[in-house]
Structure 1
Amino acid sequence: MAPLKFCANISWLFAELPDFTQRIYAAASCGFQAVEAAWLYDCELQELQRARKATGVEVILINTPPGDVKSGDLGLGAVPGREKDFREGLDLAVRYAKALECKRIHLMAGRIPVDVNRSQVAKEMETVFVHNLTYAADILSKEGIMGTIEPINTRITDPRYFLDSPHQAAAILEKVGKPNIKLQMDIFHWQIMDGNLTHNISKYLPIIGHVQIAQVPGRNEPDSAGELNYSYLFNILENHNYQGYIGCEYKPLGSTKEGLSWMKDYCKHMK
């Protein structure tokens, strides 16, 4: 049984350091062989390239640009009337991914428009999302890049996010029907929206392209107090022979380094 592999989400970890390039170095110094991030687009690409090459870490995943955050955007993939903006953001994400040799891009769905009922726009937004994902699949396949879609819980994190359950995401992926567009499983969001993790992991693992973790409900270290038994969940992933990286997308209770004892304990256990 191969041990699981973990990558540092540097949008969440090492936040005590202001610069993403510094966080890459810090992740490497703590033993991470890979990193992921949400949005690196405010960073100088050449600086990120230098940090990646100097440390030897892989960049596993980045997100498409969120859009106009000040106006309430959080991704554009399913937002009607923003198709041109989505395509421009995808082009930017591909440029960064290629430069950083990153092979996964999270294609963010976006939010339900303000003052609009979810049921009123769900069908239209799904149609837009399927269309944009189909377009993205063709662009990404030319570059050897996988696209992922991630359900984000609407009970705690973002009440207006369009894509909020693994079942909704799986149905959309079936309509898209492209082998390089996969499901991104953030266990934190899945537990909050649906629970039933043993069944859902087993059911959806064949279409999962990336995994992320955090404790529920505080979104802290996996071994912090909360609802989830990560020793059990890691065992499920091991038994299903999950080969990809697991993104550590959590908010450290103290310093990032001090909170990594859970990962050290796992590595010792697997030796």
Structure 2
Amino acid sequence: MKTCANLSLLFPEAGGLLERIDAAGKAGFTAVEVQFPYDDPANDILSRLAKYDMQLITMNCPPPNYTGGERGWAAVPALQDRFRRDFPRALRFAKALGVTRMHIMSGSAEGAEARQTYVENLRWAAEQAPHMSLLIEPINQTSMPGYFLSDFDEAVRILDEVAAPNLSLLFDSFHAAMMEGDIVKVWDRVGHRVTHVQIGGAPHRHEPENHEAFFDRLRADGYGGYVSGEYNPSGLTTDGLSWVKAAT
């Protein structure tokens, strides 16, 4: 397995995104992800990544950052036109940065119409970006009340209905633990649809403690993708990176 640092949460002591890339590079990471990298010029990001021979592998869409606003809108019926305007913008930015994975956020919605909108938008997005690995991620209702996709089994059903070869599941151990408790049991049900893993400790989303059994299961199942730390450090980021050795 390969490890990755989510720079939207890790290395907050370093400052902004460019400074966090520096900190991650010095800590030995060669891959990072950013939830919403749209605020910095792509060339500046690429230049800083190149300094450490580092790759930005994953980002969220649509832009911009959801601070104070909607947390995506792929499942929001009234915003379908907006999703289809903004997705190409996100795709262009991802291509400029060399990003190979993009997480499509469902947004806050509920009901049959929202589900149908989500399926239609995911199928459309997959057709627009056949060479991009697109991801959907169940997010727990405590962290994001009202978020449409908050169930792993429903996520698999949606993947089956969309039936796009470039659409798969993002498995976040923090959200799995918040929803069901035992992350290994959740993985046993849905791991065959997962192409990207994020980790964090529940319930406070700090360092991912007690993940050894989960890492063992990933290895046993032959998972060869990235394991990304996406959590809020309880102190200095570098003091809480024991999971990196455990995951490799």
The TM-score with structure 2 as length reference comes to 0.94
Asked whether the 8 Å contact 1:192–1:216 carries over to 2, the reply is yes
- Contact persistence 1:75–1:110 (CA under 8 A): yes
2:11 pairs with one of 8, 11, 14: 14
User: Structure 2 CA distance, aligned partners of 1:66 and 1:50?
Assistant: 22
Amino acid at match of 1:55: Y
Cα shift at 1:133: 0.2
Q: Taking structure 1 as the reference length, what is the TM-score of the superposition? A: 0.87
Residues 1:133 and 2:107 are matched in the alignment: no
Unpaired segments of 5 or more residues in structure 2? Answer: none
CA–CA separation in structure 1 for the residues paired with 2:228 and 2:243: 14
The percentage of counterpart residues that share the same residue type is 37
Give distance in 1, aligned partners of 2:135 and 2:204: 25
Structure 2 vs 1, CA of residues 241 and 68 (structure 1 numbering), >3 Å: closer, same or farther?
closer
SS in structure 1 of the partner of residue 135 of structure 2: strand
In 2, the alpha carbon distance for the partners of 1:59 and 1:36 equals: 5
List per-residue Cα deviations over 1:136-189 (Å, max 9, x = no partner): 001110xx11100000000x2011111001111111111101010101111111
Is structure 2 residue 218 aligned with structure 1 residue 240? no
**Equivalents in 1 of 2:143, 2:92: separation in Å?**
29
Conserved 8 A contact 1:150-1:163? yes
Aligned residue among 74, 87, 95 for 1:98 = 95
SS at match of 1:26: helix
Q: 2-side partners of 1:57 and 1:182: how far apart?
A: 24
Matched, 1:204 2:193: no
- 1:7-31 per-position Cα deviation (integer Å, ceiling 9, x unaligned): 0000000112222111112111101
For residue 236 of structure 1, what is the amino acid of its counterpart?
A: R
Asked if 1:159 corresponds to 2:137, the answer is: no
| 1:67, distance to aligned residue in structure 2 (A) | 5.8
Is contact 2:201-2:207 (8 Å) kept?
yes
TM-superposed deviation, 1:87: 1.8
Instruction: Give 1:149's aligned amino acid.
Output: I
- Name segments (4+ residues, structure 1) moved above 6 Å: none
Decide whether the 8 Å contact of 1:66 with 1:73 is kept in 2: no
Report the number of matched residues.
248
Q: Which residue of 2 aligns with 1:145?
A: 132
* Structure-2 separation of matches of 1:20 and 1:67: 15
Cα offsets for 1:89-129 (capped at 9, x unmatched): 211221121111111000000012xxxxxxxx411100000
